[in-house]
Structure 1
Amino acid sequence: MTKPQVRIKKIMGSSIGQSKQIDDIFNEFYSQGYIIQPEMNIEALARISENSDILQVCIEAYKNNIVGFGTVLDYNFDYKEDTSKQNIADTDWSKYEMFLKYCNFDERFTGVLKKFIDDRERLGYATIECIADETGEISELQHIPSHTVRLCKESDPIEVEEVITDSNGNERKIKRWKKFKKFIQMVGSKQVYFKELGDPRKLNRLTGEYLADGQEMNIDDEANSIIFDNIYCPYTPYGLPRYIGALVKMMGSRNADELNYKYFEDGRHIPLAIVVENGQLTQDSIDLLAGAKGQDAQHKYLILEAEAFSNEFSMEEGKSNVKIHFEKLAEIMQDDALFLEYLKNNRDIVRGSFRLAPIYTGDTQDYNKATAETAKQITEEQTFEPLREDLADLLNKKLMKELGIKFVELKFKGPKTTDDTEIAKALTPYIAGGVATPNMLLDSLGKLLGKEFEPLTDEWADIPLQVYLANRNTNLKTTFEEQNHISKAFDMQDVINPLKELQKAIEGALNG
């Protein structure tokens, strides 16, 4: 296999007129062997959006569409059918809800996750610090600027205990071997160590050493835990950002933009060739023309002076034969920015690395309602929804175990990608055909009105309306027929005759 000719490992931080390398603050520690060196310059990747007009837009689209619509809790079992778990599940719900509400007092839970996603998409990996309370249970989540964090060499695997549920619904404990990650953060000259969330061992945050059996540690020296996630790459545990294949194009776009910018500083705005016959321009005129560039030369007059050669004077008139005239060069003047098509193609390639439709980055105005809905639906199915599920699964596996939660899980909401009018049209034949029940229609009604409705608990709510009304009419008809049959079978004379006899007896008694 041939070796690649170009491999960018050092990204140059660019500024107008100069470039300089951005140093990795961990450089001197990689050679010591206990810190894993990333494939890319992490410090430079943290600033990469300064050199791209599309990267940050794509990252913002990821942040807003993955977690920006909020969170929701849900039971991971059939709450109605399995009544034996309801009390525990309700406790789990309250506990998870309280944790998400108060896990950070400075910003919302989704705000922490947006920074987490920003780091992952920019650097290839991301970290969240988990802070435990006095009971040892995590109670707070804080974002860590991931470009200040590096992975340490993995230690030997240790035996951990996991709880699984078998096919009969019974919980069973199993043991397995697992390698846990260790992290180091450096800010300035300060170093702090972290362990991976779920690691049962105690780690000294100052020395990076695990506490041996029988040893004790000051609680202030105990390391906090980290939730780690990366964009998988087979040859580096840090992962690589999605745009890495388009990195050269991003740098090229930056250079093209700088070239266009420099035109206003150093470009020639005089589309003329100055031709001098029988003489030459004076040095002052040459200097004036040399300085006639950039914005300073716009809308200014040029006063040029020329002097004749000694043999070019007319002896008869004593006058010079020097002539100055101008040749138009408008066709070679830059009348618009250069590399416009190149810049446009590069934006498309970078956006394509994130699998985003142009509508998410504002790159087109050619959408109509149908194409916009289709683009949103495809991007939801292929990009955002899988990423939401992966992130929710990561957090649930980490947080539920640490919080002791079994029956409630976290989910991320998504946008509404369907047309309410089309939903109503699609539901009409099912409603008319007596298939849909009231509870089935509550979700659609909630989307139309922007509200959430609790399922109806009455028996009729789980029966199609047409079926329920038909059964009710049948029952009413049966009741009416039974009552009519009873009235016919009952002889009214059985009531009238005793009344007549009673009336005669009363009259006789009065006359006697």
Structure 2
Amino acid sequence: MATEAFILNDGEVIEKSEMQEYAIKASTKESQSKQLEDPFREEYEKGNIVKPLYDLGNLAKLLDMNTWHYRACKAKARDTAGDYKLTPLVDDSSEDQKQLLEDVIGDIDPEGNKSITEILEKFQLDYESTGNNALEIIGEGDNLKFKHIPAHTVRRTKDRQVYVQKRGTKKRYFKRFGVNFDLHYKSGEEYPEGQLSDEKDANEILHLMNYSSRSDYYGTPDNLPALMSILGDRESQEYNLEFFENHAVPDYAVTVTGTSLDKNTKKRIKKYFNESLKENRRTTLVITADKDDTDSEIDIGSDQEVEIKFEKLAADVKNSSFRLYRQDNRDEILAAHGVPPYRAAVAISGSLGQNVAEETNEIYKNSTIDPRQTILEQRINMIFQQKLEITDWRFEFVELDTSDQEKEDERHFKGFDKGAITPNELRQHLGYETKDDKEALNSHYVNGKAITGPLAQLSANDPVRKAKESEVVKAVHKMKEKLANVVKKHE
């Protein structure tokens, strides 16, 4: 006779027959999901609000589940909306318009504690994580304000002109930017333009969506094709965590032959796994058992021995389990986002040559960041043109700098040695002011010898020429040494 039992995480010993009985009972129970219901569920049933392809709240939660997904979304948001500049559109651009634009941008947050960069980075982060974003446009003229609205709290109506935000039991309505009617911000009732007061009229909303061919109302995030990698990576982490929480003790099956598994034996097994083993991982479990004289299947007079076996149910977990699996997940997630590894704080040594890395960085800028900046710039400028009547100036994001500064500096020093640039041009590149010594600093040099300018007209052995050339070469070498020391200090 053999008795099979399972040891649970808490050390509880359950015989197989009990587990089967429990499984039958559990299968008859209604499945109880612990997920929060979509707050718009009733609104969908009424038929006016359109349901997204994927729950926006759950898409937003993915940021908390995976490091690489989070870093990629943050990198794209910051690289897109990290900094800005104002560019004139005409030769005689209005300084009054520029001043108005600067004043509005400087005080764009209605609460007065966030910059336009902070607001737009949040706006763009929603775009990367959910495929949608929402920006509330408040007032106009010098009272124009922007406020970020979390995208997962907003839904669209079927007419595409109205947006609804819901948090808890509260609901607010917004108009699509550019519509020509009034909308009550609480009831959602439409009125002819100009009929409602500013206090009752809903604010406008700017909504961008990452286009999906499956929906005319909502976008989808870039990471969606890598969703299984995000979830699989999470499962592997939880598996390892549970393994170590159990002090690296694998699942065991206990087989008892020759007797039944009595209460005292169960109690000792549970105490060993739940207490002794967790306090001292090198303890030994000793179990004694008598033959079960009440069992009719066992011949009391026989020589059958009592035997208790512990068998692992799972294979041994090796060091760094799932490491390669997690690397594959990471690579797929970053590929779906179109983000180079180093932009997501991933250091991969020896896998890419310098030229390949530079090309990857440039591809990221041209194919991922530039299009996002262009779209967002166009929308922001539409708002400024309509609300501020700005016609002479353009709001622009600063382009992502993909250059290798050290390589650029080295290229300029080589340019000086080969006669491609003058000492003053080299100084200007390195951030120094140019000097008025036109005779020496505006000439070109090859291997330390002037080839243009007044010095080149003098004899090669002229002491004035030789002194000036030596002075220029020493100055350039001094700048190079100073720059090398700065780089070394920061390595």
Contact residue 416 and residue 423 of structure 2 kept, 8 A:
no
Q: Please say if 1:401 is aligned against 2:386.
A: yes
5+ long unaligned stretches in structure 1: 1-17, 156-180, 315-319, 475-512
Q: Could you say which residue in structure 2 is the equivalent of 1:107?
A: 114
Q: 1:26 aligns with which of 34, 40, 61?
A: 40
Contact residue 267 and residue 293 of structure 1 kept, 8 A:
no
Q: Could you say which residue in structure 1 is the equivalent of 2:51?
A: 37
Contact residue 278 and residue 312 of structure 1 kept, 8 A:
no
Stretch moving more, 183-192 or 325-334: 325-334
Q: 2:235 aligns with which of 223, 236, 255?
A: 255
Q: 1:56 aligns with which of 57, 61, 70?
A: 70
Q: Please say if 1:358 is aligned against 2:363.
A: no
Matches of 1:391 and 1:442 in 2, distance apart?
Answer: 36
Give CA deviations for 1:269-302 in whole Å, capped at 9, x if unaligned: 2799988787676542244335654787332442
For residues 137 and 273 of structure 1, do their structure 2 counterparts lie closer, same or farther at Cα, with a shift above 3 Å needed? Answer: closer
Shift of residue 142, structure 1, vs aligned partner: 0.8
Matches of 2:200 and 2:256 in 1, distance apart?
Answer: 83
Q: Please say if 1:391 is aligned against 2:398.
A: no
Q: Could you say which residue in structure 2 is the equivalent of 1:46?
A: 60
Which amino acid letter does the alignment assign opposite residue 225 of structure 1?
Answer: E
Secondary structure of the structure 2 residue equivalent to 1:211:
strand
Q: Could you say which residue in structure 2 is the equivalent of 1:486?
A: none
Q: Could you say which residue in structure 2 is the equivalent of 1:222?
A: 201
Which amino acid letter does the alignment assign opposite residue 48 of structure 1?
Answer: L
Matches of 2:292 and 2:167 in 1, distance apart?
Answer: 71
Q: More relative contact order in 1 or in 2 (CA 8 Å, sep 6+)? A: 2
Larger Rg: 1
Alignment coverage as a number of residue pairs: 405
Q: Could you say which residue in structure 2 is the equivalent of 1:233?
A: 212
Shift of residue 65, structure 1, vs aligned partner: 1.9
Percent identical pairs in the alignment equals: 23
For residues 442 and 201 of structure 1, do their structure 2 counterparts lie closer, same or farther at Cα, with a shift above 3 Å needed? Answer: farther
Contact residue 267 and residue 294 of structure 1 kept, 8 A:
no
Secondary structure of the structure 2 residue equivalent to 1:54:
helix
Q: Could you say which residue in structure 1 is the equivalent of 2:330?
A: 347
For residues 263 and 391 of structure 1, do their structure 2 counterparts lie closer, same or farther at Cα, with a shift above 3 Å needed? Answer: same
Secondary structure of the structure 2 residue equivalent to 1:73:
strand
5+ long unaligned stretches in structure 2: 1-31, 294-298, 445-450, 457-491
Q: 2:89 aligns with which of 73, 76, 86?
A: 76
For residues 53 and 430 of structure 1, do their structure 2 counterparts lie closer, same or farther at Cα, with a shift above 3 Å needed? Answer: closer
Which amino acid letter does the alignment assign opposite residue 89 of structure 2?
Answer: N
Contact residue 359 and residue 372 of structure 1 kept, 8 A:
no
Contact residue 127 and residue 227 of structure 1 kept, 8 A:
yes
For residues 325 and 192 of structure 1, do their structure 2 counterparts lie closer, same or farther at Cα, with a shift above 3 Å needed? Answer: closer
Secondary structure of the structure 2 residue equivalent to 1:143:
strand
* Aligned 1:115-154 pairs, distance under 5 A: 115-132=122-139, 139-154=144-159
Q: TM-score, normalised by structure 1?
A: 0.66
Shift of residue 239, structure 1, vs aligned partner: 0.7
Q: Could you say which residue in structure 2 is the equivalent of 1:67?
A: 81
Shift of residue 354, structure 1, vs aligned partner: 0.5
Contact residue 22 and residue 44 of structure 1 kept, 8 A:
no
Matches of 2:167 and 2:105 in 1, distance apart?
Answer: 28
Contact residue 260 and residue 292 of structure 2 kept, 8 A:
yes
Q: Could you say which residue in structure 1 is the equivalent of 2:367?
A: 382
Shift of residue 25, structure 1, vs aligned partner: 0.9
Q: TM-score, normalised by structure 2?
A: 0.69
Stretch moving more, 294-303 or 140-149: 294-303
Contact residue 92 and residue 407 of structure 1 kept, 8 A:
yes
